[in-house]
Amino acid sequence: MSLALDLVLVKHGRCAETDLSNMNTSLVLIIFVLILNICICRNHNDVSESPSLKLWSKEKDSIEYYTKPKNGITVPIMIHLDKNLSTKLPVKNKMRSQKFKMAARRVLRDVEDIFEHSSLNLTISFQLLDVKILKNKIAKIAMDGDVVKYLKTYCRWQGEQKLKHENWWFSILFTGLDLFYFDDMGHAAKRVTSRSYMKGMCSINNSCTLTEWGNKNTAFMLAHEIAHSLGVPHDGYPNNECRGRHVMSAVFSPLSHNQAKSWSPCSRRALKHYLSSKRAWCLKPEENNKYILV
């Protein structure tokens, strides 16, 4: 832009030398061009400082909509808090409700910190779209403690919403229920605190997870389940040869105050394998106009 303007000035300078009678006209034109150049520079600065490109600041308690120029992948996230969780809030206290949403945002921030651990050797970021409280019972969702049924119906409902809006995101449902599943003997086992679908990240009907709220290790459990959705299995037999204390260990204590922060080589290998596969279409910008319905 500045080079083009310089050429215009030289051109008019030569015209002034050959025709002195047009000197006043040339000077007026030069002044006009200089004013135009100043206006263009100011507009350019305004665009470069556009507030729509704000990044998430870890010093803040909120996660803003952002464009994050990182080497890695960014997963859009929608968070829901179920009716059983919302009933624990005072009915008319909007401030408490807002604080609950802020707490959910902080959990997601902690999850991102786990995925940024150097042992994973890959940057995975999360773009928070919204945090919604499901205060009214939704007929299509079986809101009970059966984790298999609850997760399945929630995921189907979210799948319908994604198709309706012609968009994709990963859905997180925090519940106030004590989750359980039925073991091989048909007995209700309450040793479960969260559940997701293996390699379900880019499946419209399976890109979701259900996690109990209130545990001090909620962020750890959520990171564990998101990793499953990204194709990462548990460490150890029969999945792989890795042992030790890592994020994807098959056994962990939900009440422990010192959960693992590192990822095993097997987890790193499985994640890279998934991201290079066709199942990870939604994490590849050039493929974001497709849906895989499974």
pLDDT in tens, the chain (294 residues): 433 333 333 334 443 344 434 445 555 555 655 555 544 444 444 333 322 222 233 333 333 333 343 458 999 999 999 988 877 765 555 666 788 888 889 999 999 999 999 999 998 999 999 999 887 778 889 888 999 999 999 999 999 999 999 999 999 999 999 898 777 777 777 777 899 999 999 999 999 999 998 777 899 999 999 999 999 999 999 999 998 889 999 887 655 666 788 999 999 999 999 999 999 999 987 654 444 444
Whether 232 and 181 map to the same domain: the answer is yes
Whether 65 and 197 map to the same domain: the answer is yes
Whether 169 and 209 map to the same domain: the answer is yes
Of 30, 49, 68, which residue constitutes the final position of a domain?
Answer: 49
Whether 145 and 96 map to the same domain: the answer is yes
In this prediction the pTM is: 0.72
Model pLDDT, residue 37? 55
How many domains is the chain built from?
Answer: 2
Whether 112 and 184 map to the same domain: the answer is yes
Residue 258 sits at φ, ψ, to 5 deg, of: -135, 70
Separation between Cα atoms, residue 291 and residue 167, nearest integer Å: 9
| Token pair recorded at residue 239 | 């999945």
Q: Please tell me the chain's helix, strand, coil percentages from 3-state DSSP, rounded to the nearest 5.
A: 45, 15, 40
Report which DSSP code applies to 57.
P
Nearest to 207 by CA among 130, 248, 155, 272: 155
Examine residue 285 and say whether the peptide bond preceding it is cis (omega within 30 degrees of 0): no
Model pLDDT, residue 236? 93
Active site residue 241: no
Is 110 contained in some domain?
yes
Whether 157 and 18 map to the same domain: the answer is no
Contact indicator for 283, 75 with CB cutoff of 8 Å? yes
Whether 32 and 59 map to the same domain: the answer is no
Separation between Cα atoms, residue 81 and residue 102, nearest integer Å: 12
257 has binding-site annotation: no
234 has binding-site annotation: yes
228 has binding-site annotation: yes
How do strand 123-133 and strand 170-175 relate by DSSP bridges?
unpaired
Whether 130 and 209 map to the same domain: the answer is yes
Is 237 contained in some domain?
yes
Whether 13 and 107 map to the same domain: the answer is no
Is 292 contained in some domain?
no
Whether 29 and 75 map to the same domain: the answer is no
* Radius of gyration for the alpha carbons in the chain, expressed in angstroms and rounded: 27
Is 293 contained in some domain?
no
Out of 112, 225, 286, 287, which one is annotated catalytic? 225
Is 16 contained in some domain?
yes
For residue 64, what is the domain's CATH number? 3.40.390.10
Whether 223 and 261 map to the same domain: the answer is yes
Is 197 contained in some domain?
yes
Is 13 contained in some domain?
yes
Q: How far apart are the first and last CA of the chain?
A: 52
> What does 220-283 look like in DSSP terms, one character per residue?
HHHHHHHHHHTT---SSTTT-S--SS-TT-S---TT-SS------HHHHHHHHHHHTSGGGGGG
Separation between Cα atoms, residue 27 and residue 35, nearest integer Å: 12
Whether 67 and 17 map to the same domain: the answer is no
Place of tokens 């080497």: 71
Report which DSSP code applies to 286.
G
| Token pair recorded at residue 128 | 């928070």
Instruction: Give the domain extent around 109.
Output: 54-287
Is 294 contained in some domain?
no
How many beta carbons lie within 10 A of that of residue 230, not counting itself? 26
Of 49, 65, 82, which residue constitutes the final position of a domain?
Answer: 49
